[in-house]
Amino acid sequence: MSDAAVNAAMRRLGIDTKNELTGHGFRAMARTILHERLNYSPEVIEVQLAHKVAGPLGAAYARAKFLDQRIKMMQAWSDYLDSLKKGGQVIPLLMAG
């Protein structure tokens, strides 16, 4: 799915993709949270996000699908989003200055 398709879907949800969040930004945020907060490996995350494997032989040799890990990861992501929706574990950030 292209960034344009994701951005169009986000606009239909009422998200301002010029000033608030873009599809690429959402993917970057999800990747960071999945790795740092939910402790999933970058390899599993990258396969889920359908990123191409770097290097000249990347796709030729990297054929792992990590299906079991991805299913667990996506359930953990869903649970994490549900907890945020309920107001849980929101960390306030203080402005420097």
Residue spans of the domains in the chain: they are 3-78
Asked if the model's pLDDT at residue 61 lies above 60, the reply is no
Could you tell me which residues come within 8 angstroms of residue 93 by beta carbon, excluding any fewer than 6 positions away? none
| pLDDT tens per residue across span 76-90 | 999 999 988 888 666
| pLDDT tens per residue across span 5-43 | 989 998 999 999 998 888 888 888 999 999 999 999 998
CA dist., res. 60 & res. 80, Å (int): 34
> Cα separations (Å) of 61 from 8, 36, 55, 56?
34, 27, 10, 10
Q: What is the pTM of this model?
A: 0.71
Asked if the model's pLDDT at residue 73 lies above 80, the reply is yes
Which of 41, 38, 42 minimizes the C-alpha distance to 78?
38
Geometric angle at alpha carbon 73, from 12 and 64, rounded to 5°? 105
